[in-house]
Amino acid sequence: MTPEDTEDKTEPNLFRNTLQSAKTTVTTCGNNVYSGYGSPLDAIANPLANGGWVCTEADSWIAELKEQCTGIPEAFDDAVSTIQARIGSEPDKVPENDWRGNNWPRQWRMQSMY
């Protein structure tokens, strides 16, 4: 057996690390919604409902607006579950030169579409 045969030919799974970071971000955002920030449309709907817009259509329009945000807390839960399932399917280490290892980009940037 040569030293090359015993050499570890794996590297950290950096894609898995990115998934763990994404899970933390989604969990934090979901917790913010749950803990009192409320629906993203509340900042619009609540002032309108409290006298900001008075007419025969206001109540139904505000109700429709608020209806559009039902399910947002559950969407965060679903996203966390989906990410966690993917994390669970990823190994801690991957073979050398695997796309999820050292080849995985560590720096992200928005690229222009133009």
Per-residue pLDDT of the chain (114 residues; tens, 9 = 90+): 565 667 889 999 999 999 999 999 999 988 888 776 667 777 788 888 888 888 888 889 888 888 888 888 889 999 999 999 999 999 999 999 999 999 998 766 555 655
- Does residue 83 lie within any of the structural domains? yes
Alpha helix stretches (DSSP H) within 33-109:
42-47, 58-67, 72-89
- Does residue 44 lie within any of the structural domains? yes
- Does residue 111 lie within any of the structural domains? no
Domain with 40, as residue range(s), is 20-103
- Does residue 46 lie within any of the structural domains? yes
Output the pLDDT for position 12. 96
- Contact between 8 and 51 under an 8 Å Cβ cutoff? The reply is no
Number of domains observed in the structure of the chain? 1
- Does residue 67 lie within any of the structural domains? yes
- Does residue 45 lie within any of the structural domains? yes
